[in-house]
A and B are shown apart, each in its own frame.
Chain A
Amino acid sequence: KAGVTQTPRYLIKTRGQQVTLSCSPISGHRSVSWYQQTPGQGLQFLFEYFSETQRNKGNFPGRFSGRQFSNSRSEMNVSTLELGDSALYLCASSRTDLTYNEQFFGPGTRLTVL
């Protein structure tokens, strides 16, 4: 069974630009969550989608948005990039949104904002 895939793996952007990251969950998984990892703030939850609906959102500005498609693939978008958006963005999928379901992570997209 293929794992969670994320594209692209690396991105370099400049301030003010926008970026779209993509995540394909494990086949059969309907829940996709996004996390931002930085050395200073650690791992922070961005948002979670289940069956194309955003179920939960972390404490991030409106520049961060996302969506999920009918095949459970998800994208996140960051507009008007700031230097502080430089981070590893991790996507995780789980079969359902229940507490006991493990979340399996992809390799991440490393975004650098210059």
Chain B
Amino acid sequence: AQKITQTQPGMFVQEKEAVTLDCTYDTSDQSYGLFWYKQPSSGEMIFLIYQGSYDEQNATEGRYSLNFQKARKSANLVISASQLGDSAMYFCAMRAGSARQLTFGSGTQLTVLP
């Protein structure tokens, strides 16, 4: 079974500063993918970034980067230069082995302060 843990229910960050959202995962599969999604209050889940278990380099997409530490089973999301529009719920998710569905964490509500 797969499990995703997000221990920060809520986070605050000052505009233009960087913020790290924590995510740890548990799986016995060697092949897996880790995803981060952003969910604004409108409800739509927006795909941000992906990291494969065999990828040697940390994934980056614009202001988003994923700090992947395989031995620690962590996949933290780093948002640089936070903007007011980054205020949203952020979900870490995993797809592992033969499982076809995404397993989600409980999410972190990020608030960017002006």
Interface range, B side: 20 to 34
Of residues 71 through 113 on chain A, the ones whose CB sits less than 8 Å from some CB of chain B are: 88, 90, 92, 97, 99-100, 102-108, 110
B18-26, B41-49, B71-79 - interface stretch: B41-49
Q: Does B91 contact A (CB under 8 A)?
A: yes
Q: When the two chains form their complex, are residues B42 and A103 in contact, meaning their CB atoms are under 8 A apart?
A: no
A-B contact number at CB 8 A: 59
A42-B107, A99-B31, A100-B50 are contacts. A56–B101 as well, Cβ < 8 Å? yes
A43 (CB) vs chain B CBs: closest residue: B104
Contact A48 B100 (CB under 8 A): yes
Contact B50 A102 (CB under 8 A): yes
Specify which chain A residues have a CB less than 8 angstroms from the CB of B96 in the assembled complex: 99
Residues of A within 8 A of B95 (CB): 99, 103
Contact residues on A (Cβ < 8 Å of other chain), bracket = 20 to 34
B47 and A33 form a contact (CB under 8 A): no
| The one of B32, B45, B106 that contacts A105, using a Cβ cutoff of 8 Å | B45
Let me know if A107 and B44 touch, CB within 8 A.
yes
- B45 CB to closest chain A CB (Å) equals 4
Q: Name the contact of B104 in the complex, choosing from A42, A99, A108 (C-beta under 8 A).
A: A42
Show 29 residue pairs from A and B whose CB-CB distance is below 8 angstroms, ordered by the A residue.
A33-B100, A33-B101, A33-B102, A35-B102, A43-B102, A45-B101, A45-B102, A50-B100, A56-B101, A58-B101, A88-B43, A92-B45, A99-B31, A99-B52, A99-B95, A99-B96, A99-B97, A100-B33, A100-B52, A102-B35, A102-B47, A103-B35, A103-B47, A103-B95, A104-B47, A105-B47, A107-B43, A107-B44, A110-B43
Residue ranges of A at the interface with B (Cβ–Cβ < 8 Å): 31, 33, 35, 42-43, 45, 48, 50, 55-56, 58, 88, 90, 92, 97, 99-100, 102-108, 110
What residues make up the interface of B, taking CB atoms closer than 8 Å to A? 31-33, 35, 37, 42-47, 50, 52, 91, 95-97, 99-104, 106-107
